[in-house]
Amino acid sequence: MKKIRRSRRSRMNNMPNMKKMKKLTAKTKREIKKFSMEMGKDMSIMIKNIKKSMK
């Protein structure tokens, strides 16, 4: 059992993105989308503030 588990873990480590994508449910995807949207807003506000401070 342990050997199988270890090999499986190493395989997961070799391609973590694939595993993560499979694990993602619709809910987490939605949350990530929302989070990225909020981050984008924050970034744009920060950039605006930086441009203002530059002037």
Region of 15 on the Ramachandran plot (φ > 0 left; ψ -120 to 50 alpha; else beta) = beta
12-32 tens-digit pLDDT: 555 556 556 666 666 777 787
Q: How far apart are CA 47 and CA 40, in angstroms?
A: 10
Asked if residue 32 is part of any domain, the answer here is: yes
Asked if residue 35 is part of any domain, the answer here is: yes
Please give the distance of CA 23 from its chain centroid, rounded to a whole number.
12
Domain holding 46, by residue range, is 25-55
Q: What is the mean pLDDT of residues 31-49?
A: 81
Asked if residue 3 is part of any domain, the answer here is: no
Asked if residue 52 is part of any domain, the answer here is: yes
Asked if residue 18 is part of any domain, the answer here is: no
Question: Cα-flanking dihedrals φ and ψ of residue 9, to 5°?
Answer: -65, -45
- The residue with greater pLDDT, 34 or 22, is 34
Asked if residue 7 is part of any domain, the answer here is: no
Determine contact, residues 44/37, Cβ cutoff 8 Å. no
Asked if residue 14 is part of any domain, the answer here is: no
Structure tokens at 31: 């949350």
Read off the pTM. 0.31
Give how many domains the chain has, as a whole number: 1
Asked if residue 8 is part of any domain, the answer here is: no
